[in-house]
Structure 1
Amino acid sequence: MSRPEFTGPPELYYNDVQAAKYSQNSHIIEIQTRMTERAIELLALPDDDESRLLLDIGCGSGMSGEVITEMGHHWIGVDISEAMLKVAVDDREVEGDVVLKDIGDGLPFRPGTFDGAISISAIQWLCHANTREQNPRKRLLQFFQSLYACMGRGTRAVFQFYPETVSQTELITTQATNAGFTGGIVIDFPNSTKAKKVYLVLMVGGIQQLPKALTEEEEMDQVSNIERRSRKNDKRDKRKLLKRSREWIEAKKDRARKHGKPERSCFVYNGCDFKFEIIVSRMLTFCSGSISGVGDILISDI
């Protein structure tokens, strides 16, 4: 079976039909949840019960974002597929904010914004050129440089990805190092063809010891976590409020206030079915006077 990144640009591959199929596949949801939990574990966030602001790179339909939310953290997601983000906003009703953006052009966030970053099955897309102008080496470097700038000192970024070749892994790690990161590769279950997972763990500010890879015994603990999370989600779905109802809007406003989010001004972008909003905060570098296209617009379901 051909890899998705071989078929063309991700924004075309993940169209409305593919986005819906991907987001409703129970097997994909289970695997994505496991990998997200592992990525967050590799971030080694302080165990002080405080909420952190995380960046989800290649957030897609918000599967990973839901895990971040359930773990008590706030998040912003970035993805190039408008169809996937529409599923995240309209269908999954994610609590994080999402940005329509090609990460190969760099990230639009201010320095030191994030306490950590994760990425599930996304970074390998930057290793492929879909136009004559695209240079994978330059795009990777630009992405990692912009990521390094918006990360706080002492934080980590964790990328789960499926390397095509050893040279592709070397290309990714070399450009990350050139951008200023330290770190390396962590391979869980290296002797298992089915369970093997590759993670690039990047660190900002100083050399730290790489985390230990998982073994078969530790995989059972992850299965138990998935089962507990599934039961929790079933209970949450039963008491979900009717979308757009007064109670639903009030509950969303309450969540925003608890998260310390600023007041928002909204407008409707006529090129799409869903609303966009400008959020004025420390997280974003653009404002209403500087937006030139949908690539830098924050999507919201309000």
Structure 2
Amino acid sequence: MASSCRRPEHSAPPDVVSYSPFYCFCSSRMIEIQTQMSERAVELLNLPEGQPCFLLDVGCGSGLSGDYLSEEGHHWVGVDISTAMLDVALDREVEGDLIVGDMGHGMPFRPGTFDGCISISALQWLCNADKRTHSPPKRLYTFFSTLYSSLSRGSRAVFQLYPENSEQLELITTQAMKAGFSGGMVVDYPNSSKAKKSGLGSETSDKTVPNQVQYSGQRCRFKNMKGKSAKKGRDWILEKKERRRRQGREVRDDTKYTGRQRRPHF
């Protein structure tokens, strides 16, 4: 029997593991963590202030990161290997376009399509060979090189990941640099083994950046969502429904029950 603390990428291929109940039916805590990581990734993208951008979400899963992108006013395309997870995203009526795809096969987009890319907890899957034909270095290079081409000049890609060891981190950064990216590593909460999260930020500019792992001190708490509706509250739901109406989508009528929290069933 496998240990309960075993890394998920070691237990089965991503299209199998990602559809477990743990990943599909997230608790409010898991949703909050995913939203915070997405917020941090967008912060590192350094997008133009107040300007809607066209972004790529690699390993989008059920669309939790995409929800944050939509709330920020951005348009996005999500790619994931799991059709089951994308079905969950469709059921949740996310606002981005969804594509089934293995990131190790490359990104099938025209050059300069996107203003930026984020990826939450997906990149480390490419470091494992789930089939005999899989070569992690080749799959990483194929991913990074095609992603590099699909990004507009000067844009950034931010990957939140959990590297297993320094060798794995070196493998990832080496293939990213080989594909043309420059950038470095940022570690949030480096003194906490539980909250420690790594992010690899890369740029598609021609500026020379030393191939070094850069560590930050403990980062401040995520900025308050001032002026924004509480997520999943009535105002947030009404705003989301209004956006969909403007897009010409079919939306249920608003009632006194809209946004009302249901009692848990035991």
Q: What band does the TM-score fall into relative to the shorter chain? A: 0.7 to 0.9
Cα deviation, 1:228-267, whole Å, max 9, x if unaligned, reads: 867243124654899xxxx998544279xxxxxxxxxxxx
Question: Is this contact kept in 1: 2:19–2:85, CA < 8 A?
Answer: yes
Question: Is this contact kept in 2: 1:16–1:84, CA < 8 A?
Answer: no
Amino acid at match of 2:6: S
What is residue 20 of structure 1 aligned with on the other side?
A: 24
What is residue 54 of structure 1 aligned with on the other side?
A: 55
Question: Is this contact kept in 2: 1:118–1:159, CA < 8 A?
Answer: yes
Amino acid at match of 1:33: T
Report the TM-score when normalising by structure 1: 0.74
Q: Structure 1 stretches of 5 or more lacking a match?
A: 256-302
What is residue 129 of structure 1 aligned with on the other side?
A: 129
State the distance in 1 between where 2:240 and 2:48 align: 33
State the distance in 2 between where 1:39 and 1:77 align: 15
State the distance in 1 between where 2:60 and 2:248 align: 23
* 1:85 maps onto 2:86 in alignment: yes
Question: Is this contact kept in 2: 1:148–1:179, CA < 8 A?
Answer: yes
State the distance in 1 between where 2:208 and 2:124 align: 25
C-alpha RMSD of matched pairs (Å): 2.6
Going from structure 1 to structure 2, the CA distance change for 1:55 and 1:249 (only over 3 Å counts) comes to closer
Aligned partner of 1:213 among 206, 211, 216:
216
Alpha-carbon distance, 1:12 to partner: 1.2
What is residue 71 of structure 1 aligned with on the other side?
A: 72
Q: Structure 2 stretches of 5 or more lacking a match?
A: 251-266
* 1:235 maps onto 2:239 in alignment: no
Partner of 2:160, secondary structure, is strand
State the distance in 2 between where 1:94 and 1:144 align: 26
State the distance in 2 between where 1:173 and 1:248 align: 39
Question: Is this contact kept in 2: 1:19–1:87, CA < 8 A?
Answer: no
Alpha-carbon distance, 1:204 to partner: 0.4
Going from structure 1 to structure 2, the CA distance change for 1:231 and 1:211 (only over 3 Å counts) comes to farther
Question: Is this contact kept in 1: 2:56–2:77, CA < 8 A?
Answer: yes
What is residue 45 of structure 2 aligned with on the other side?
A: 43
Going from structure 1 to structure 2, the CA distance change for 1:164 and 1:228 (only over 3 Å counts) comes to farther
Question: Is this contact kept in 2: 1:114–1:150, CA < 8 A?
Answer: yes
Considering Cα pairs closer than 8 Å and 6+ residues apart, tell me whether 1 or 2 has the greater RCO.
1
State the distance in 2 between where 1:248 and 1:87 align: 21
State the distance in 1 between where 2:158 and 2:126 align: 16
* 1:179 maps onto 2:179 in alignment: yes
What is residue 264 of structure 1 aligned with on the other side?
A: none
Partner of 1:155, secondary structure, is strand
Alignment of 1:1-302 (within 5 A): 1-15=5-19, 17-21=21-25, 24-47=26-49, 49-90=50-91, 92-207=92-207, 213=216, 215-216=218-219, 218-219=220-221, 221-222=222-223, 224-225=224-225, 231-236=230-235, 239=238, 251-253=246-248
Q: How many residues matched?
A: 243
Going from structure 1 to structure 2, the CA distance change for 1:229 and 1:126 (only over 3 Å counts) comes to farther
Question: Is this contact kept in 2: 1:153–1:205, CA < 8 A?
Answer: yes
State the distance in 2 between where 1:229 and 1:11 align: 35
State the distance in 2 between where 1:110 and 1:76 align: 13
Partner of 1:231, secondary structure, is coil
Question: Is this contact kept in 1: 2:184–2:214, CA < 8 A?
Answer: no
Report the TM-score when normalising by structure 2: 0.83
The structure in which a higher percent of residues are helix is 1
State the distance in 2 between where 1:121 and 1:78 align: 13
